[in-house]
Amino acid sequence: MSDTIRFGPAGTSESFKAMGYKNSKDIPAHTARFGLHAFEYQCGRGVRLSDETAAAIRANAEGLDIRFSVHAPYYISMSSLEEDKRLASVDYILQSCRAVRALGGSRVIFHAGSCGKQSREEALRKALDTMARAQAAVDEAGYGDITLCPETMGKINQLGDLEEVLALCSVDKRITPCIDFGHLNARTLGGVGGKEQFAAILDRMAEALGDDRARRFHSHFSKIEYTAGGEKRHLTFADTVFGPPYEPLLDLCAARGLTPTFICESAGTQAEDARAMQDYFTGLVRG
């Protein structure tokens, strides 16, 4: 299933240990137990994945058709007022590329940072420069086959609305957006709730990118509680107050023949909720 829609969790859900799995080397078995074909390894607090562990995970995933991605450290700040922090962000991306290569994966997801005490325009200008430096550094280090994926963000003061992420993707035709629909819903205070809103996002991606990236984009999905400032906390699919719902989006993906990778970021039930998305999509395509 090289070119097909995929579903998987961001990190391990609470059921991982409850089912008797003991360490990261068991990630492939747990993922496969849910019938899932994607997994996003979390390096948000730093890239600490050893070569030995990565090799074991990769070996244990052989034959299971699990596509790995890596979430880079949260403290990346491509728009920082301090150049040292922007340069350090390039290094964190390189570390993440090394980790995903060791896992046999090919996508690195990252947050661009916040605007801080500067205008959104100036923050984006700095981030675009850092993005260009990062892609050049990735190529120079021999990771040119690794896809960098800037993520849409959930808090209003963060750099990462849809247009800003698409601008970052304009730096190089390989850079692919990570569209977090829960984040977009949170930063618009509930503005992404139905098929019309999802369609507008997909249409804008296609218009801005103009290539296969709009069909094979990366995505995070979860229900997210929000306040006036945007994202507050991740929830599970059991929540009935906050959105967004995944069904209208998957309806569109099926109708349009899109093949993104959906990574579920539910709070503690990410594998279970990823399976719910997969089951719904499977029902659509089977009619």
Distance CA 249, CA 252 (A): 5
Distance CA 157, CA 114 (A): 6
Tell me, yes or no, if the pTM score tops 0.95. yes
Please give the chain's pLDDT, 287 residues, in tens. 557 999 999 999 999 999 999 999 999 999 999 999 999 999 999 999 999 999 999 999 999 999 999 999 999 999 999 999 999 999 999 999 999 999 999 999 999 999 989 999 999 999 999 999 999 999 999 999 999 999 999 999 999 999 999 999 999 999 999 999 999 999 999 999 899 999 999 999 999 999 999 999 999 999 999 999 999 999 999 999 999 999 999 999 999 999 999 999 999 999 999 999 999 999 998 87
Give first-to-last CA distance, the chain, whole Å: 19
- Tell me if 118 is assigned to some domain: yes
Distance CA 142, CA 97 (A): 10
Instruction: Find the radius of gyration of the CA atoms of the chain.
Output: 18
The model's pLDDT over 54-64, given as tens digits with 9 standing for 90+, comes to 999 999 999 99
- Tell me if 1 is assigned to some domain: no
Of 127, 201, 181, the C-alpha closest to 158 is: 127
Length of the chain, in residues: 287
Total domains in the fold of the chain: 1
- Tell me if 203 is assigned to some domain: yes
| DSSP one-letter string for 118-140 | S-HHHHHHHHHHHHHHHHHHHHH
Residue 109's domain spans which residues? 6-286
Distance CA 74, CA 42 (A): 10
Residue 156's CATH number: 3.20.20.150
Q: Which residue has the tokens 């930063």?
A: 187
- Tell me if 174 is assigned to some domain: yes
DSSP β-ladder status, 38-42 and 6-9: unpaired
- Tell me if 122 is assigned to some domain: yes
- Tell me if 97 is assigned to some domain: yes
Task: Decide: 92 and 75 in contact? Cβ < 8 Å.
Answer: yes
